[in-house]
Structure 1
C-alpha cells in the first residue's frame, strides 16, 4: 500500500461539524503549502475574526506565523513529551484549575520567555482514570513477564547445578541464557510495554523504571494547548480545540461510512470529483443529523426499512410504498423532506 500514489484531503468544518469546503492535494504537498492555501481561500469568504484550530502536527513556527497574518489567530495542540523547554516549563507551573465541564478542567499559564502566546493545560478526570488503569495493567503484565523470566532462569541454573553434581564436577557449568535474553529483548522492544523498562548497564537485566512511571503519572488525562488570541477565555480556548474532533470525525466518516478509499482513478480531475462527491455525501449526512438529532447509523437503519413494491394486476401496474412507522415519518418531517407517496407510477392496462 505504501507504494501507491497518495493524496492529501482538507476539510473546513464548522463547530457543529458541518463540512463547508474541501481541498485535494498531491500526497507530497508540504504542510506549509496546505496552511497557506486554506487560509488564503477562506480569506476570500470575507469572514470576520478567524481563529484557526490545528493539531500538533501543524504547529511549526512558520505555520503559526502565517496563520497570524491579517489579524488572524490560532489555537494549536502542543506535544507535552517532545522535550521542548517551553512545554516542560508550562507543565511544571502550579495553579488552580477552572471547571469548564464535568469532564474538563483548564489552567492558564504565562511564560515570560514567550509573551506572545498563552498556554492552556487541560485536564479530563475521566481520561485520567483511563490512563491510570491502562498503565497499571501494563505494569502488571511487565511484572508477570519479568517474574516468569527470572523463574525460568533460576530453574535452568538449578538444573545445571544438579547435573554438575551428578557428574561429579566441582564447577557448575553456566546454563544457557539465550532463550531468556531473547524474551527480555522482546519485552524491551515491545511498542507499548518497553517504554516502562530500563536496562541495567552492568547486568543487562530489565526492571521497571520507577522514575519514568512517576513522571508519566503527572500527564494523566492532560493535554497542552497554545494560542495567540489575547481575548478568548481559557474555557473557550479548550472548547475550541475540542471542536477539532468534529473535523476528525468527518474524516473518519468519509473513510469508513462513505468508503472514500481506495480510489480507482488515475486522472486528477476524476480523483478530485471522487473526493468532492464524498464531501457532498458527508454534507448531507451532517445536515440530516443536525436536523433530526439522530446519528447517521440510526437514520440509515430506519429509512433503509422503507421499501417500494410494484403491484401488477388485470387493471395495470402501480408502485406502492410500505407504511411508514412513526419514527420514520418523524425523520422525514425533521429533515424537511416530502413524504414518499403511498401510490405512484400507475400504468393502466390498454
Structure 2
C-alpha cells in the first residue's frame, strides 16, 4: 500500500492528485497494476490534519517500535537521551550576561607554547561551570559527563587535557574576567552595589603534608622563580594548616573570600594561603575593589574584621562600613554602648533596635531579637542545670579530685562561663555572670561609620550578611567546593573561579524565578534531547515541554529550545 500521484493538465496548468493505492496482479496483462483505494484530492489542497488523524489511527494497530519504524523509516534507530533543560537555561543566562563575549574578547596569549582558540575554550569553560551547577565532579569526571551524560550546545565532546588547558588559561585571565563579568552583570541586572557583603570560609585538601613554602607578595600571590624559606614572614605554601571553618584542622586548607551584593549576587572571589588571618584580608579586598571605579560602598562584615586597623583602613576614601562587634569585649566603647539607657524601636516583628553614639566618627546600633532571647535563656538554663549537677557534691571531694573536676569543666566553654571558684577552692555557680549574660540575651552589636545611614538600614543591612553565608553553604553542598583534588596552585584558584561563576548563574536563576535552584533543576533535568540515526544522517529532538518547564522559561524570559535541536546529513 502506498501513496500514488497522478497528474491532469488543465488550462491553468498541471494539477496533481494524491491517491491511496496498492498493486494487484493482472493475469491478462501479466503484471501488477495499481488499484486506487482512496482519493485524497488535489495535492495543493491536501487536508493534512485529516491525514495525520488517519496515520494516528493506523499507528494504534501496531506496537510503538513498529509504529515509529513505519512512520519514520525502517532503519531509524533511537540511540540515546540526554538531559537538556539545565544546560540550556544556564547557557542562555551565560550568553545573556555576556560571559561568553567577555571570555572570547580576553587576551588569548598562548600558554607554554600551546595555541589558544578562545571560542573553543569558552565552550569548555562553560561545560565545566555547568558541571559545577548540575552534577559537581572532578575535572576527569566532568569531561566524561560532557561527552556522555548531557547535551551542551557547541560542545559535543571534550577531553581531560582540554579541560586542564582551559583552567590554566582561566587562571591567567582571571582578573580581566572578574571585572568584565562584574560590569556586564551590574548593568544587565541593575545591581545595587552600595552595600557589599564580605565574608570568608576555608576548604580543605585530603593530603598528608602541606605545600612547600614559597615567597609571596603582600596579597598572597607567589613571586615567580623564588623559593621561600620556612619561617620567614609571608613565605608559606598555598595549602597549609590554619584555623579551619570546616572543623578539619587536621588537613591543609586555603582561605576563600567572597563579595556579595544585597540581592545575593556574588561579584568576586579571592583565595589566600590557609593560615591567613581574617583581619588582613579585607584590606586587600578593598584595594582590589577600588580599581573597579564603583561609587560609595558600605562594607558589611562580621566580627572577625572589627579590629581598629581594619576599620581605619575601610574609612579611607568614600567608603564606610557596618561591622559586627563582640558583646563580651573589654573595649571601653562597647561597654559604654551596652550600658547606655534608652528605648528600643521596633523595625520588624522579630527585631528591635537602639542607636548609641559614643564618638564623632562611629555609631553603635544594639539589635534585639525577642525570639532569640528566649532561646538564649533556655540554653543557659540547661547549661546551669548541667553545671549544678556536676558540682553538686564537689565540696566533699579531696582537693586533688576537685582540681581534676575543675580542669574537665574548663574544657567546656559553655559550662566554664558560669563557674566560680571561691578563695577556698570550692566550686560554685557564678550568679553575677548569669545576670550579666541575661542582659545580652537576643542581642548583637553593630558598629557603623556612615553618619547618614538610618539605624534601621544598618540593622537590615547586617542581617543580609546571611546571603553570604547561604552562598558558602551552596558553594559547599551544591557546587561541591570541598574537598579539592587539584595539586597545582593555579588550578586550585581556577577551580574557585569556576565555582564562583556557577554560583553566579544559580543566584540569577533564583532571584529571577523566586524559587530554589534545587527545585528549578529538578524540573529542568526532565527536559531531554533524544538522538535518532538513520540511513540519511542524525537528528536530535527535544521532548515536549511540561507546564512547569514552560513557566520557568517564561519567568526567565528565555525562548523554548527548538523542537529539532540538530540535523546532520550522513556523509557520502
- Of 520, 524, 528, the residue aligned with 1:303 is 524
Q: CA deviation at 1:328?
A: 2.7
After superposition, residues 21-100 of structure 1 pair within 5 angstroms as 21-29=268-276, 31=278, 33-100=280-347
Q: Secondary structure at the match of 1:192?
A: helix
State the distance in 2 between where 1:75 and 1:232 align: 10
Q: Alpha carbons of 1:321 and 1:196: their partners in 2 closer, same or farther (altered >3 Å)?
A: farther
Q: Alpha carbons of 1:142 and 1:323: their partners in 2 closer, same or farther (altered >3 Å)?
A: farther
Q: CA deviation at 1:102?
A: 1.3
RMSD: 3.0
Q: Alpha carbons of 1:184 and 1:46: their partners in 2 closer, same or farther (altered >3 Å)?
A: closer
State the distance in 1 between where 2:543 and 2:391 align: 64
Q: Alpha carbons of 1:279 and 1:95: their partners in 2 closer, same or farther (altered >3 Å)?
A: same
- Aligned equivalent of 1:143: 388
State the distance in 2 between where 1:176 and 1:228 align: 55
Q: Secondary structure at the match of 1:109?
A: strand
State the distance in 2 between where 1:228 and 1:177 align: 52
- Of 424, 445, 449, the residue aligned with 1:202 is 424
After superposition, residues 178-327 of structure 1 pair within 5 angstroms as 185-204=407-426, 206-310=427-531, 319-327=540-548
* 2:356 counterpart of 1:109: yes
Bigger drift between 310-319 and 234-243 goes to 310-319
State the distance in 1 between where 2:482 and 2:567 align: 41
Q: CA deviation at 1:266?
A: 3.0
- Aligned equivalent of 2:245: none
Q: Secondary structure at the match of 1:12?
A: strand
Q: CA deviation at 1:4?
A: 4.8
Q: Secondary structure at the match of 1:23?
A: strand
Q: CA deviation at 1:188?
A: 4.7
- Aligned equivalent of 2:260: 13
Q: CA deviation at 1:140?
A: 2.8
Q: Secondary structure at the match of 2:509?
A: helix
- Aligned equivalent of 1:164: none
Q: Alpha carbons of 1:310 and 1:137: their partners in 2 closer, same or farther (altered >3 Å)?
A: farther
State the distance in 2 between where 1:179 and 1:37 align: 51
State the distance in 2 between where 1:276 and 1:305 align: 28
Q: Alpha carbons of 1:293 and 1:64: their partners in 2 closer, same or farther (altered >3 Å)?
A: same
- Aligned equivalent of 2:133: none
Q: CA deviation at 1:47?
A: 1.7
Contact 2:322 2:447 in 1 (8 A): yes
Gap runs ≥5 in structure 2: 1-247
Q: CA deviation at 1:295?
A: 1.5
Q: CA deviation at 1:226?
A: 1.0
- Aligned equivalent of 1:128: 373
- Aligned equivalent of 1:328: 549
Contact 2:279 2:304 in 1 (8 A): no
State the distance in 1 between where 2:391 and 2:277 align: 45
Q: CA deviation at 1:179?
A: 7.2
State the distance in 1 between where 2:328 and 2:298 align: 26
Gap runs ≥5 in structure 1: 155-174
- Aligned equivalent of 2:80: none
TM-score (structure 1 length as normaliser): 0.81
String of CA shifts for 1:131-186, please: whole Å, max 9, x gaps: 11211222233334445x57xx98xxxxxxxxxxxxxxxxxxxx989778755643
String of CA shifts for 1:189-216, please: whole Å, max 9, x gaps: 3232222222333253x33211111110
Q: CA deviation at 1:98?
A: 1.3
